[in-house]
Amino acid sequence: MAVETAFFMEYCVYILDSLVNNSKYIGQSQNLEDRIKLHNRGYIQSTASRKPWKLYAHKIVSSRSESVQLEKKLKNLKSSTRLNYFLVNNDFIIAKH
């Protein structure tokens, strides 16, 4: 009798901070480390002009649909005060600066 196991792909919702102008970028990926490298090498058109980037905060979620939903919610917050409040109160890991 074969044992079936569930396979979960984790996703990461992340916030980057531009070292050029302190602007934020919000995104989601299955591989955060590789994605940050792409941002910093200029391969992501929407962030190339503001590189280099450093990780500001991130959170691991269990599905792509959850990551897309959370990314959208973060992008709709519109102010850094609301963003920071949301991050602190929703289990995001804030990077040490």
pTM of the model: 0.88
Q: In Å, how far are 10, 17, 22, 76 from 56, measured between CA atoms?
A: 19, 6, 10, 18
**Does residue 76 sit within a domain?**
yes
pLDDT, tens only, 63-89 = 999 999 999 999 999 899 999 999 999
Half-sphere exposure of 55 (CA within 13 A, CB side): 19
Residue 73: inside a domain: yes
Give how many domains the chain has, as a whole number.
1
pLDDT tens-digit map of 7-64: 567 999 999 999 999 999 999 999 999 999 999 999 999 999 999 999 999 999 999 9
Report yes or no on 6 lying in a domain: no
Domain that includes residue 64, residue range? 11-94
- Direct distance between the N- and C-terminal alpha carbons of the chain, in angstroms, rounded to an integer: 52
Q: What is the CATH number of the domain that holds 78?
A: 3.40.1440.10
20 inside domain: yes
DSSP-derived pairing of the beta strands 24-29 and 11-18 = antiparallel
For residue 46, is it within any domain? yes
Residue 1 lies in a domain: no
